[in-house]
Amino acid sequence: MDHEAPVYLHRLPVPGEDRYLSVALVNTRFKVSHGPVDLLEDAEAAHLWLVRHEVLDDRVALGGRQSARLRTLREALRTLFEAHGSGEQPPPDALGTLNAALAAAPPTPCLAWTADGPRRADVPDAGNPVAAALSLLAEDAVDLLTGADTGLLTECAAQGCARWFLRSHGARRWCTTKCGNRVRAARAYAARKADSL
């Protein structure tokens, strides 16, 4: 563990971030006790996030405009997740952002032949690795929003938490036990205060 890193970098991932990078991307903007945190706040931070999630090679530079596109994609995904959660139609600009990322550098399908036999493989666009990374993240979101796990996608119900997660069971409302404990403690405090009046 890197003890020099800010404490919020040591947060445990929420359910679903390990399966869907798009959930992890949306959760790069959150609040802690001292204020808002943006893990993609500048090009260097965005580059680090992409490299840590093995979406971009460390040797590929990430400029300010490219990191801004990543943040724009994140906000579009958040909007699409919110529309999905509320059952409403998303704004056209959020769909446009996602679709533009998908089209910018789609992977090329090819046939790979391994010891196990033939299988389909998708080769990322080597000519534009950053656009390929954004395309991969957008495709991941499409898979989530249209796949079997779509009904599990939920925003944390704890006040002040804006993280999204995949429910492991129907009654789950909080992204982590920490959020659940915070809500229960607030309820208990409010009940004690009401009883004392």
More confident residue, 182 or 17: 17
CA distance 151 to 81: 11
pLDDT category at 9 given cuts 50, 70, 90 is: low
Does the pLDDT of residue 52 top 60, yes or no?
yes
Report the DSSP pairing between strands 108-114 and 117-123: antiparallel
Does the pLDDT of residue 3 top 50, yes or no?
no
More confident residue, 95 or 11: 95
CA distance 58 to 72: 22
More confident residue, 151 or 197: 151
The string of pLDDT tens digits covering residues 147-191 is 999 999 999 988 888 899 999 877 778 888 788 777 676 666 666
Task: Please answer whether residues 43 and 67 qualify as being in contact, where contact means their C-beta atoms are separated by less than 8 angstroms.
Answer: yes
CA distance 60 to 46: 12
Arithmetic mean of pLDDT, 31-44? 89
Arithmetic mean of pLDDT, 1-25? 74
Structural domain boundaries in the chain: 7-153
Does the pLDDT of residue 86 top 80, yes or no?
yes
In CATH, what class is 7-153?
A: mainly alpha
Long-range contact set of residues 2-7: C-beta below 8 Å, sequence gap at least 24: 7/32
- The pLDDT assigned to 11 comes to 65
* Strand blocks (E) in the chain: 29-32, 35-38, 108-114, 117-123, 153-155, 164-166
Arithmetic mean of pLDDT, 91-113? 94
CA distance 177 to 34: 20
Q: Which two tokens stand for residue 148?
A: 């079997």
Q: Hey, what's the torsion of the CAs at 46, 106, 116, 147, to 10 degrees?
A: 80
- The pLDDT assigned to 124 comes to 83
Paired with 114 in beta bridges are 117
Handedness of CA 175, 177, 178, 183 (dihedral sign): positive
- The pLDDT assigned to 188 comes to 67
